[in-house]
Structure 1
Amino acid sequence: MALPSLIDLGMRPFFQQQLSLEELESCALGRVVEQHKSEVVLLAGGEVQRYKLPPKLEAICVGDWVVFNGERLIRVLDRQSLFQRKAAGTARERQLIAANIDTVFIVSSLNDDFSLNRIERYLALAKEAGVEPVIVLTKGDLCVDADSIRAQVQKLDPLLSVHCVNGLDNDEVAALKPYCQKGKTLTFLGSSGVGKSTLVNGLLGTTEMATGSIREQDSKGRHTTTYRAIKWLPEGGLLMDTPGMRELQLSDAKEGIKATFADVEALASQCRFADCRHESEPGCAVRAAIETGELSLRRLENYQKLLREESHNSATLAQKRAKDRALSNMVNTVQSQARSAKKFK
């Protein structure tokens, strides 16, 4: 098929309005469709372009819109949405995952790896980014109580879209195609082995993505995606595939957590004490709701756990930013003094 136009790729007034007159006259716009360690691939005006990443260019990821000329990337446009996380391991930096997404498919398999806690974590990310979340429960053909589990997920939010899908059944995968409209960008989030690559193949109508087997002893899957890329869907949408994420930590996502646990937040506002910890304080509306069955203890504990994690990670990042600023200021001062000393010699 013909390569998509900028509008097909999701170009909107939000991005166009960021361009200066000079950039409109002498530069071009492109969207990052593949990201590698030292270079990116752009789609722009029906052409595929490959660029080395300049050392001083701000952080970039798949889905970004960039201004470029024939020789180099110039800058990244402001994003409408951005998924990011604290980098895996001990690193203190954030890792950008995907930019300018419209809908995120949060995928969880209905085998032993199913976890409401993990789904809530992904929902917090989606709500922080302002992206529509859609829950996709896979491998229902291997689960005897799929309807019961689906009801548990729906209970997290009555307005949440939840689909049970066998990724190998084309009719069931078709339930996701209404989200794949022309000019819309979608992505998948979920642990390795939950069936994301199988769903991607189903939506593409090909076997473009490799799929991995499940280790029977722990229902875990092997990584099958090694880079981030956007793929063109038959319905006209853009599907961004991201590697499976075994470690996803929240940072700067407090509002997303609060939105995901709006029921807990509403109950907490009714507690007698504003600083109630929901343990044994008198007049605790949250504990009262747990006793009556209105709220599960699991949900309260996960809410508190995610808030602690977010607070710790955000504080760590803030400390690193302050340290980096101090180091930069010191270097600038030393360089300025050296120039002044050289001037008066």
Structure 2
Amino acid sequence: MNLSKNSLSRCLLSRGFKTCSSLKLTNTDKAHSATPVSQPAGKQVVTMIPGDGVWPELMHSVKDVFKLANVPVVFDEKIVSEVQPLQSCSNEEFMEAVKKSNVCIKGIMQTPTSSGKGELESVNMAMRKMLDLYANVVLVKSIPGLNTRHNNVDIIVIREQTEGEYSSLEHESVKGVVESLKIITSEKSRRVAKFAFDYATKHDRKKVTAIHKANIMKLADGLFLESCREMSKLYPRIQFDDMIIDNTCMQLVSNPYQFDVMVMPNLYGSIIDNLAAGLVGGAGVVPGESYSSDVVMFEPGARHSFAEAQGKNIANPTAILLCAANMLKHMNLERHGFRIESAVYKVIKSGKVRTQDMGGYATTNEFVAAVCKAL
């Protein structure tokens, strides 16, 4: 595994994070102690990061559904949080767990707005760099029974997520003037481009579109675009085109059917992920996953902690349940994955039990109960 040594540790410690071994564990904390979870006979271990805001509650939904469906998985739960530093485990414990399981399911972690002082790199970004999770894949697909402006949308958004504007290289050169560096390299551009074409080939997709702003950032985005063009020559059966980011936003909302697989630098991916999620029902229904050469991390495609819904029992668990189903398919537990996926789709298609964001009045618990009943 290609690890950035101590980068996550420095980021955590700069915010006052403690290692798990230095904490006084309460009864509720003992499940997150430094002792690794052993693999029971006939079961696979998955690292779980509950996340912030409403996501720890939604992770309980995953546990409930897995228990009812008799999924042969045991969760090794690790708390990593930027807004709750005293509860966060050490990076050594987290890395040990992930390297052992190679599969992780993660709730959304909240990243506070920086005041301009201290460590600039978020824990989220440090984690992705340390694990080298270079390719984020968001599955933007219409769900039958969920009414949206566009029907039958099916787009794959692939985002390079280890560099670009998220490089956290900023400084105030003189008072009132801040310089922020955007890093684009040919190595990582080619790597994510190859991932996009390989993904298209494996999943029988016909076209890859590179999203950029090379007309203005001629060197940085020009390098990314040229890397994609060079890679496309190795895949003659996959159609390739490119589009400027601002035009892409307009084209997505007016005619999303022209897109199949999209590949882009980091910041553009963040924008397109959220725009595309709105096409199919919002942040609560879009699953995602991030890849390194060794690890796959499954997390919702639209990264909102939804902290205002914490404890209100109103959040939509669809995205995290679909992430969990996709995770099971990745782990060669296809039967369990398809069962859970089908149950979620069945509940939504019936229209009887829907959370507020889907136009209904059901609580989180009621939606999960309906999925369990469908199982």
For normalisation by structure 1, the TM-score amounts to 0.31
Larger Rg: 1
Larger relative helix fraction? 2
Q: Which has the higher contact order (CA 8 A, sep 6+)?
A: 2
